[in-house]
Chains A and B, each alone.
Chain A
């Protein structure tokens, strides 16, 4: 998101404006009031005596509330300080704006204050793709309110605007005749309500977007922060990053109507404030040691929406976990398949992984019993519907060829899956990490079947399948001469042989033969993949490598957090700490808010991480990355009813404590001591991960 824009949000309702608080959107411009994937205001401009205002400052009070300080424009660089204007705006069911004009002069003042309002009711997809509207617009004044409307057959949306102060309302906005006494103030409250209207002939009532009281939201945020474990650390940037992650995760919480007020993580703010199978699951995994309730809601909601039939338009199969759910006009008229869309090849296996990991942490066997049907259906999907080539591997090929997704793995851009020489394979594609996830799902499913569902025969069957998959995988995907795993198998069963970060996910899933792990780690930490900040998505020297290519050379914090977990799983503690150091150092450059990705340049060459330009910030799984890195550094692992702590800190952190880690053990504290380099600490931004020999034991 551009730094010049200000965003506040509550779930899938959000306002994006300029620094004056104004909205002047064109069809492709990403500003406005949005709710339920629809833009409800595309114009919202405040003027005084016909002049726009100048911004002095913006005070981001909370993620759902902000305050704009403004002064009238003079047309020169000088500011007329006799008058100032405060717009305090809070989101919720649309938004609520408190407009205050302060007269600092000894003379009274009379002003014509105007708010221009309009809406194009664009679908989020239309904003992204610049598409034309097909319905009709209306604008009318009724009962002292301005009603903006849009109608396409039975699809009806309305924006209702009203004010507490007397106003002259016309079809384009509200005008206030303002008189302010010397040193006095004038104020009005303006309410903008985003409303979904049902069709006229079905006899139901209009549904205003849900409203939450501001106090309630503040309490909610305080409770969220209070419930999370505390992090203490002598390396200040980590405390800042942790706090940032918790607040951003709070903002990213999304409560679809079916969750009775409980939340799951949406994918990114503001354009991806909806349920995504993959993003919600991976973020819940990252956050498990800190906020396990996110995982429970994610599992319940994704389970409710699990596929039950074969629908080519939505790429739906029985047992498949959804990719993305949208509720705007284009989904409604089936111009896009997101009602919901299921074209995702990894979320179904990851669903099983999350449930098992969740139970290992929380001991919540009840949820495992509750979701037995869904987990069995998910495991069945892997064998019955995902093996498109009949070779025992999970692969993907969209059936919706017009609007479905080509790449149904996390690296979903068009050129992300390539051979070393840069050629792109045909379809289906069996990417390697999908096999790892499937293996892990079977192993974990077997544990659930044996220990909780009391079905040892099913457990044995799953374990047999997992062992067979692992054996075949280590044979078929292993690039013998260079000793790493190929990115994918193509439709002919040949290796798509580019060297990629996916090797790290394989460690996380446990599908890598122990004898091969060392060679894999050598590649991950070697100069072709490791940039100094983290592991690149694609290795330097490969045909399509580009340090600023989305999935072909950039470094993704989320990717690296799972790689660090994978390294720990195979006992490579020092390497996991090195990855944590690189990513946490990068986070310090962004005030603790990691971008989705940054450039894959050599760290030595740029000295700072070059942010990849992206529309969403914060991104859920980037927000979750520091949480998973904390887990990796501390070596947190539930074993039976205990939490095992086996720390390895990067040099530069002398002390790290995570207090009150929730789980089946109640609440416990995890402590670690490390080494610090006294020379490096004299700098303003001491960096983590300096070579061991240069550091000294602190105590």
Chain B
């Protein structure tokens, strides 16, 4: 966790590199993340085409737009903050078709920093 502020960048870049994601095979559309960082807004535009994923910074209309603070989103992609709970709290908001956000949250990591386990449960019982 040396470069904490880069968690979001790492997350999206890694997603773009993978190029394909089985968990998103049903989705055909786009989701844009507008992440506020002080006075500037960082944009991540994710295009989903039957499992093919591409990531860019373009500012274009999307099927679903998610707004959050950059710092909060860093916590979400690190597994320190739960994305759905943030949404219910109003810290993160979404406009457009929320199905994309529900699909997208499948990619978020297990709550590693909060006592969760990321490995096979059976081995620890």
Given known A317-B121, A332-B85, contact A203–B114 (CB-CB < 8 A): no
Of the candidate stretches A149-157, A210-218, A430-438, A578-586, the one touching chain B is: A149-157
Q: Please name the residue on chain A nearest to B51 by beta carbon.
A: A373
Q: Are B88 and A327 in contact, with the CB atoms below 8 A? A: yes
- Given contacts A258-B102, A304-B103, A309-B109, are A333 and B91 in contact (CB under 8 A)? no
Please state if A384 and B120 are interface contacts (CB–CB under 8 Å): yes
In the complex the two chains form, is B114's CB within 8 Å of A313's CB? yes
- Determine if A247 is an interface residue (Cβ-Cβ < 8 Å): no
Q: Which of A166-174, A194-202, A416-424, A459-467 is found at the contact surface with chain B?
A: A194-202
Taking the closest CB of chain B, its distance from the CB of A347, in whole angstroms, is 17
State in angstroms the CA–CA spacing of A388 and B98 once bound together.
34
**Is the beta-carbon distance between B122 and A201 smaller than 8 angstroms?**
no
Chain B: residues with Cβ within 8 Å of the partner, total of: 40
Chain A, residue nearest B111 (CB): A311
Contact of A333 with B115 in the complex, beta carbons under 8 Å: no
Complex alpha-carbon distance, A196 and B125, angstroms: 42
CB distance from A63 to the nearest CB of B (A): 26
A202 touches B69 (CB 8 A): yes
B2 within 8 A of A: no
B25 to chain A, nearest CB (A): 6
A154–B102 CB distance below 8 A: no
Please report the C-alpha to C-alpha distance between residue A197 and residue B90 in the assembled complex, in whole angstroms: 7
Which of A198, A333, A387 gathers the greatest number of chain B CB atoms within 10 Å? A198
A339 located at the interface, meaning its Cβ lies under 8 Å from any Cβ of chain B in the complex: yes
Contact B69 A258 (CB under 8 A): no
Contact at A373–B122, with CB atoms within 8 Å? no
By a CB distance below 8 angstroms, the chain A residues around B36 are 201-203
Most chain A CB neighbours (cut-off 10 Å) among B68, B88, B108, B111? B88
How many residue pairs between the two chains, A and B, have CB atoms under 8 Å in the bound complex? 104
Q: Do B89 and A311 touch across chains, with their CB atoms under 8 A apart?
A: no
A309 partner residues in chain B, CB cutoff 8 A: 108-111, 116, 118
CB distance from B125 to the nearest CB of A (A): 6
Q: Is B58 an interface residue (CB 8 A)?
A: no
B118 touching A310, Cβ below 8 Å: yes
Q: Are A333 and B85 in contact (CB under 8 A)?
A: yes
Contact indicator per residue, chain A 300-334, by CB within 8 Å of chain B (1) or not (0):
00001110111111000100000000011001111
Cβ of B62 under 8 Å from chain A? no
As a 0/1 sequence over residues 74 to 108 of chain B, the CB contacts with chain A under 8 angstroms (1 = contact) are: 00000000101100111111010111001100111
Instruction: Give the CA-CA distance A508 to B70 in the complex, in Å.
Output: 52
Residues of B within 8 A of A384 (CB): 120, 122
- B48 interface residue, CB < 8 Å from A? no
Bound together, the chains give a CA A260 to CA B102 distance in angstroms of 13
Task: Report A246-260 residues with CB < 8 Å from chain B CB.
Answer: 257-258, 260
The contact of B22 among A205, A339, A373, A399, by CB within 8 Å, is A373
| Residue B26 at the chain A interface, CB threshold 8 Å | yes
Whether a CB of chain B sits under 8 angstroms from the CB of A144 is no
Cβ–Cβ contact B69 & A155, under 8 A:
no
Q: Which A residues touch B85, using CB under 8 A? A: 331-334, 339
User: Across the interface, do A156 and B90 meet the contact criterion of CB distance under 8 Å?
Assistant: yes
A155 to B86, CA, bound (A): 9
A388 touching B90 in the complex, CB below 8 Å, given contacts A258-B98, A311-B116: no
A390 within 8 Å of B (CB atoms): yes
Contact call A308/B69, Cβ cutoff below 8 A:
no
Q: If A202-B69, A258-B98, A317-B121 touch, does A310 touch B93 (CB 8 Å cutoff)?
A: no
Chain B residues, CB < 8 A from A258: 97-99, 102
* Chain A stretch 14-46: residues in CB contact (< 8 A) with chain B: none
Question: Which residue of the partner chain A has the closest CB to B81?
Answer: A334
Query: How far is it, in angstroms, between the C-alpha of A311 and the C-alpha of B113 when the chains are bound?
Result: 11
Mark interface residues in A182-208 (1 if CB within 8 Å of B CB, else 0): 000000000000001111011111000
For the complex, is A385 an interface residue (Cβ under 8 Å from B)?
Answer: yes
Q: In the complex the two chains form, is A340's CB within 8 Å of B84's CB?
A: yes
Chain A residues within 8 Å of B69, by CB: 201-202
Cα distance, A36 to B116, chains bound together (Å): 28
Chain B residues with CB below 8 A from A399, complex form:
121
Is there a chain A Cβ closer than 8 Å to B67's Cβ?
yes
Which residues of A are found within 8 Å of B106, using beta-carbon distances?
Answer: 306, 308
A604 interface hit (Cβ, 8 Å): no
Can you name the residue of chain B whose Cβ is closest to the Cβ of A334? B85
Query: Shortest Cβ distance from A408 into chain B, in angstroms?
Result: 15
Contacts A308-B106, A312-B117 hold; do A333 and B67 have CB atoms under 8 A apart? no
* Contact in complex: A310, B110 (CB < 8 Å): yes
Q: How far is the CA of A311 from the CA of B120 in the complex (A)?
A: 11
A370 in the interface, Cβ–Cβ < 8 Å? Answer: yes
Q: How far is the CA of A331 from the CA of B89 in the complex (A)?
A: 9
Report whether A304 and B88 are in contact in the complex, using a CB–CB cutoff of 8 Å: no
Q: In the complex, are the beta carbons of B98 and A339 less than 8 A apart?
A: no
| Selected contact of A339 from candidates B25, B67, B84, B93, CB within 8 Å | B84
Contact flag A203-B67 (CB < 8 Å), given A312-B115, A317-B121: yes
Given A203-B67, A334-B85, decide whether A385 and B122 contact each other with a Cβ distance below 8 A. Answer: yes
From A154, A328, A334, A370, B90 is in contact (CB under 8 Å) with A154
Cα-based distance from A69 to B119 in the complex (angstroms)? 62
Chain B nearest Cβ from A458, distance in angstroms: 16
Contacts of B26 in A (CB 8 A): 370
Q: Cβ of A390 and Cβ of B122 under 8 Å apart? A: yes
Residue of A nearest to B102 (CB): A304
A199 touches B114 (CB 8 A): no
A331 adjacent to B88 (CB under 8 Å) = yes
Query: Which of chain A's residues 359-410 have a Cβ closer than 8 Å to chain B?
Result: 370, 373, 384-385, 387-388, 390, 399
Partner of B82 from the list A304, A328, A339 (CB cut-off 8 Å) is A339
Cβ-closest chain A residue relative to B99: A258
In angstroms, Cα B40 to Cα A216, docked, is 43
| CB-based contact A387/B116 at 8 Å | no
User: A332 — which chain B residues lie within 8 A by C-beta?
Assistant: 85, 88-90
CB<8 Å pairs between A and B, sample of 11: A153-B89, A202-B67, A203-B36, A304-B102, A310-B110, A311-B110, A311-B116, A312-B115, A331-B88, A339-B85, A373-B23
Q: 8 extra interchain contacts, Cβ-Cβ under 8 A, other than A203-B67, A332-B90?
A: A153-B89, A154-B91, A198-B90, A202-B90, A258-B102, A332-B85, A370-B26, A384-B120
- Which residues of A approach B to under 8 Å, CB–CB? 153-156, 196-199, 201-205, 257-258, 260, 304-306, 308-313, 317, 327-328, 331-334, 339-340, 370, 373, 384-385, 387-388, 390, 399
A-B complex: 4 closest residue pairs judged by Cβ atoms: A332-B88, A309-B110, A204-B93, A258-B99
